[in-house]
Amino acid sequence: MVDVKSGVNPLFLREEELRQGIELLFYAYRDFTSDPDAILAQHGYGRAHHRALHFIGRNPGISVAELLAILRITKQSLSRVLSQLVTEGYVIQKQGTRDRRQRHLFLTEKGVELERQVSEPQRARVARAYREAGAEAVEGYRKVLLGLVNEEDRPAVLRSIKRR
């Protein structure tokens, strides 16, 4: 006599819990990206530009290969946005000294300012959510998100977010 309706089946509950976790991630990401998108559109840029600006800003001197590894896109795809950002004076490339094949990427002052402007509402959104949820919840948020990352990539992610 298994009571199906009252949901005592632990597998069923689990499945439902997982689907909720999946949907929450979708909804959060949907709104999380909407603020920058709107501002960027005014500058004639898109989400891809924001991502490049963000990770170059966070990792001054990052090489092209390293940036590609983070974004997980092809160099041709990155090239499109990067060359725009360079041409328009938001990013500069410096040839490596130890390895002169490398191009180290930096935001210009203009680039720093644009990045700040674009990410400001995003930071405000996260700040609000953190404040409302409390420190303990934030710890859980971070733990679960890190757990969603491919296991083999977690060390790189930890290094990346802890840098500075």
Interface residues toward DNA, by CB under 7 A:
44-49, 51, 63-65, 71-83, 93, 98-103
**CA–CA gap between residue 111 and residue 53 (Å, rounded):** 7
Q: Cα separation of 99 and 14, whole Å?
A: 51
Ranges within 2-31 binding a copy of itself (CB under 8 A)? 14-31
Identify the three-state secondary structure at position 4: coil
Q: CA-CA distance, 8 to 12, in Å (whole number)?
A: 8
161 binds, among DNA, a copy of itself, none (CB under 5 to 8 A by kind): a copy of itself
Torsion angle, alpha carbons of 140, 146, 147, 151, to 10 = -160
Q: Does 41 bind a copy of itself (CB under 8 A)?
A: no
Among 3, 99, 109, 132, binds a copy of itself (CB under 8 A): 132
Question: Taking CB under 8 A as the rule, does residue 112 contact a copy of itself?
Answer: no
Question: What's the chain's Rg over C-alpha atoms?
Answer: 20
Closest by CA position to 11, among listed 19, 69, 27: 19
Residue 13 binding partner per list a copy of itself, DNA, none, with a CB distance cut-off of 5 to 8 Å that depends on partner kind: none
C-beta of 129: minimal distance to a copy of itself in Å?
3
Residues at the contact surface with a copy of itself, assessed by CB under 8 A: 14-32, 34, 51, 54, 58, 72, 119, 122-123, 125-130, 132-134, 136-150, 153, 157, 160-162, 164
